[in-house]
Amino acid sequence: MSNKAPAFQLYAQDFLTGVMDLTMEERGVYITLLCKQWSINNETGIPKKRLRLFLGYDWETLPEMVKEKFIDNGDYFFNKRLLQIVLDQNNFREKQRLNGLKGGRPKTQNKPKKSSSMKIEDRSKKIEEEKEVEVVYPYTSKEFINFWNNWKIYKAKEFKFNYRTIQSEQAALKKLSNESDNEAHAVESIESAMANGWKGIYPQKIITNGKQSSKNGQSYSNEFKEELARKIQSS
């Protein structure tokens, strides 16, 4: 195989323990065979017919203590532990090569950031959703609704003010209904505020028998009450 590693790990203590019963000459033969197997770098091992060329021994004349360190595979022989190291390193290099073809290690997939266009789209969607929610008017006559819409136009032109959310407009309507004695009083208060150039609506209390009247007896439609309660709960 190509691109073979130039070296293998030799665990000194393991090696010394494994060759305790070998003579110095046998140790030399053993380490030479390990180096030869590594240099061949294949999964079959060392060919027996080439032994004499680099070692001066035939398989038959090889010291028995050395033979025990290898597995006889017919025309070849190999050291099992060293073969496993060869296979592990070859597998590792192959994985590295494949990762290189893919552009390196797989990167952790991060959540994609929203582009500016996506953010604008989200804001537009939110605005559209708010538009779909309609305000609940305390009085449903066409006259009151027209006066209220005129009031919003007046506020925008005179004070550059707009209700930014449905909730803020609903709160203003609720305040107007609480401070007005009836629909006519609410319409009159809106008209008076625009006529006087006021920034807000300030309903004047109706004087009855020398006393300011309260909203006792004031009633709204059940639909308004129910819708307003739902609005408050969902806000």
Domain ranges of the chain: 12-101, 132-234
* Least confident range of 44-48, 76-80, 217-221: 217-221
Q: Read off the pTM.
A: 0.41
Tell me the C-alpha distance between 67 and 72, whole Å.
8
Backbone angles phi, psi at 22, to 5 degrees: -95, 150
Q: pLDDT at residue 165 above 90?
A: no
Q: Is 202 exposed, middle or buried (0-12, 13-18, 19+ CB in 10 A)?
A: exposed
Continuous segment of H or E residues that includes residue 97: helix 80-101
Which residue matches tokens 């929610």?
133
- pLDDT given for residue 153 in this prediction: 94
Give the pLDDT score at 218.
Answer: 46
Between residues 185 and 203, which one has the greater pLDDT?
185
Gap between the Cα atoms of 227 and 221, Å rounded: 10
Cα 46 from Cα 34, distance rounded (Å): 9
Terminal Cα-to-Cα distance of the chain (whole angstroms):
71
- For the chain, helix, strand, coil in percent to 5 are 55, 5, 40
- Name the DSSP letter for residue 108: P
Q: Which residue has the higher pLDDT, 115 or 25?
A: 25
Q: Which residues have CB under 8 Å from 56's CB, separation 6+?
A: none
Cβ atoms within 10 Å, residue 204: 12
Helix (H, G, I), strand (E, B) or coil at 3: coil
CA distance 70 to 67: 5
Statement: residue 95 has pLDDT above 60: yes
User: What is the pLDDT of the chain when averaged over all its residues?
Assistant: 81
The dihedral built from the CA positions of residue 92, 97, 102 and 105, taken in this order, carries a sign that is positive
* Confidence category of residue 35, pLDDT binned at 50, 70, 90: very high
